[in-house]
Amino acid sequence: MVSRVIPVDTFDLVIFGGTGDLARRKILPGLYRRYLAGQMNADSRIIGAARAKNTVEQFRDLIHAALVEFVPKDRQEPADMAAFLAHLDYVAIDAKEESGWTNLKAILRPNVVRAFYFSVAPALFGDLAERLHAHHITDAGSRIVLEKPFGRDLISARALNATLSKYFSEAQIYRIDHYLGKETVQNLMAVRFANILFEPIWKAQYIDHVQITVAETMGVEGRGAYYDKSGAMRDMVQNHMMQLLCLIAMEPPYHFDPDAVRDEKVKVIRALQPITSAEIVRGQYLAGKDDGGYIEHSQDPNSKTESYIALKVEIANWRWKGTPFYLRTGKKLRARYSEIAITFKEPPHSIFDDANGWKPNVLVIRLQPNEGMNLMVMIKEPGPGGMRLMQVPLDMTFADALGADADDVPDAYERLIMDVIRGNQTLFMRGDEVEAAWAWTDPIIQGWEARGDRPQGYDAGSSGPEDALMLLHRDGRRWREIKE
């Protein structure tokens, strides 16, 4: 199988925060890989912008070091890296000051795609948007790309949307949720809407429940001060997990078109039921043998921020009434593991005398590691001894199915940046989608803040707090194991 790489139009991509962690770890290594793949043409340029008074050479040296650190060794051909770095330019700009903007304007070219990546603290988004507009650097064809977090509640998200909309139309705004750029996540849409097999049974009548798990082994480490203002609900559920839930639960869009897809996702978010305190479990990891607990990394010894959350979510519409979605995500868990597991109901009537071995069909979509899908099906246990049942996986690990091409699958950032240049917003969050997600999330957070709820401690390296087990036990169900 040969990957098809279609070069994108010539672009000038300005990365505000071009010297920061995200730019060095993800954005520029991603662009380098797209360059190697032949997707970025010879005239395209990447312009770093930050306050530091770097020369172009200093910026290229910084990015060279980043490529050495973050790109696999077998992709570090010196001639390739030098050729890529020649596309880089740099302008010193402070988002809050007026100097530097004229220099930026002077180096941008007419008649090429102009995109501005805001890889800076969200507090600067408004300043950047305003100055880009005031200095006549953007026109109707320009795009801006925003990193998360997009607000910390409905009020702040609305205010940010209102500020941006003073200077840019919705069609120019690309709000990144990098989960949507993951190959497997997009595959959810292909699996659901390009196969007849699943759709007829994709409903409460046949699906018992859905589990969405995003487990990390890392703790908050040096990010305690930032994380204390966020927590798992704001950091993971309001955005990434909500997107996964939408892709599982949405109605088929009429076309694979940005607004058609996003219209259907918004409908799911609006149909989410309010949840009670009994349907939420929050946890905070405790000190382990070698490392402090959450509290030791936080700057507040009384922090009530959750590093783990589990929720039972219900969607009030015809398709899903009666099928709960259980969401859980946390730090310092047993394994780095993300999956969506769709558990089907039992057949209406068993024809087998010994139905003891019966287990439900489960469709498991693994997001990491080993991206792929598993469909657990019942078969006859081989050999004599009557009709005994056993469960086996129909396993499709994408790396096996795609062979060598699996190595060339672009990572989330690569794909999303190329989509910005192509002008395709399908995998970016629309303003109303973000607001709808906050509108559902806000009362939940306000509820535990008003009650003064304290998260339950859990051991580092475990699968989360005890109460999370109860959340499913009460419903006669169990969480799937968190494992590599």
Contact footprint for ligand NAP (CB under 6 A)? 16-17, 19-23, 50-52, 93-96, 119-122, 124, 147-148
Angle between helices 28-36 and 412-422 (to 10 degrees): 70
Residue nearest to ligand NAP (CB): 20
Closest to 217 measured CA to CA, from 467, 474, 459, 420: 459
- Number of Cα atoms under 13 Å in the Cβ half of residue 342: 22
Smallest distance from the beta carbon of 222 to ligand NAP, in angstroms? 11
Closest to 376 measured CA to CA, from 368, 386, 387, 365: 365
Smallest distance from the beta carbon of 123 to ligand NAP, in angstroms? 9
Smallest distance from the beta carbon of 277 to ligand NAP, in angstroms? 29
- Which residues are marked as active site? 240
Task: Count Cβ atoms within 10 A of the Cβ of residue 214 and give its class: 0-12 exposed, 13-18 middle, 19 or more buried.
Answer: buried
**Rg (the chain; Cα; Å):** 24
Instruction: Using the structure block, give the residue that is written with the tokens 């948007």.
Output: 129
| 378-384 CB contacts, 8 Å cutoff, 24+ apart | 381/357
Instruction: Using the structure block, give the residue that is written with the tokens 């056993």.
Output: 390
Smallest distance from the beta carbon of 403 to ligand NAP, in angstroms? 31
Closest to 186 measured CA to CA, from 146, 242, 236, 243: 243
**CB nearer ligand NAP, residue 230 or residue 317:** 230
Smallest distance from the beta carbon of 169 to ligand NAP, in angstroms? 22
Q: 343 — alpha (psi -120 to 50), left (phi > 0) or beta?
A: beta
**CB nearer ligand NAP, residue 47 or residue 50:** 50
Q: How far is CA 329 from CA 210, 350, 376, 423, in A?
A: 14, 36, 23, 32
Smallest distance from the beta carbon of 125 to ligand NAP, in angstroms? 8
- Alpha carbons 270 and 35: distance in angstroms, whole number: 40
Contacts of 399 (CB under 8 A, 6+ apart): 370, 371, 372, 406
- Residue 46 host element (H or E): strand 45-50
CB 324 within 8 A of CB 211: no
CB 85 within 8 A of CB 118: no
- Alpha carbons 187 and 107: distance in angstroms, whole number: 39
Nearest 10 degrees: Cα torsion 262, 268, 270, 275: -140
- List helix spans (H) across 252-397: 258-270, 294-297
Question: What residue type is 282 in one-letter code?
Answer: R
- Residue 133 host element (H or E): helix 125-134
